[in-house]
Amino acid sequence: LTQLSRSIADTGHAARRGEPHSFNTLWTYLLAPAWLIDDVHAAYTTVKYLGVVVMTLTVIPAYGLARLLVGPRPALFVAAASAAIPALAYSSMVVEEPLAYPYSTLCLFLILRVLIAPSPWWIGGAVLAAAIAPLVRGELGVLPVILLLAVIFLAWRADWIARRRATWTAWDWVGLLTLLVGAGVIV
């Protein structure tokens, strides 16, 4: 990632040892300006501190996530614990985790917020955040699926669907179960 972000800083394009490289993560683009510092030691130190600051920002969405479920004091504990985990050791390395950790926590906060009190703004924020998540780290590609499942859950709880479900026969339930098993097999 260091080579990619340094290449982006120098040329505007990702490359590894002079060879063009495909898009990997947004983190390389966020680190690129730090490599414009003339002193390599100062640039590397800046990159490490940037990683620490960004990863520590997890406390904000972690607190918000916890506040949706518990009171202020336990939420403060959750926020502090989210910054005191062993994975924080990654923050001083040039890896994707310093951005992925707070971003995934933010996405989960937005998804839970949509589940608790859906509104157009929260839904839009959750959709946008989940759409960008795979660009932050490939493994975060599961977040759009989690959002989709949350939306399906919201739709399932809706009054008009509950009224419709009340008229279902046993064969309707068998059909739903068959669709779910089929979807599970495909996934």
Q: What are phi and psi of 84, to 5 degrees?
A: -110, 15
Helix (H) or strand (E) holding 16: strand 15-16
Q: Whole-structure pTM over 0.85, yes or no?
A: no
In tens, the pLDDT along 69-118 reads 999 999 999 999 988 876 667 666 777 888 888 999 999 999 999 988 88
Mean residue pLDDT of the chain comes to 87
Q: Which two tokens stand for residue 97?
A: 């985790």
DSSP annotation of 35 reads G
Cα distance between residue 110 and residue 73, in whole Å: 21
Compute the average pLDDT of residues 52-64.
Answer: 91
- Which residue matches tokens 């759009």? 144
What is the CA angle 141-143-147, rounded to 5?
135
Q: What are phi and psi of 19, to 5 degrees?
A: -90, 130
Confidence at residue 92, expressed as pLDDT on a 0 to 100 scale: 67
| Residue 65 contacts residue 105 (beta carbons within 8 Å) | yes
Nearest of 55, 52, 48, 49 to residue 1 by alpha carbon: 48
Confidence at residue 15, expressed as pLDDT on a 0 to 100 scale: 72
Lowest-confidence range among 33-37, 110-114, 132-136, 141-145?
A: 33-37
Identity of the residue numbered 40: V
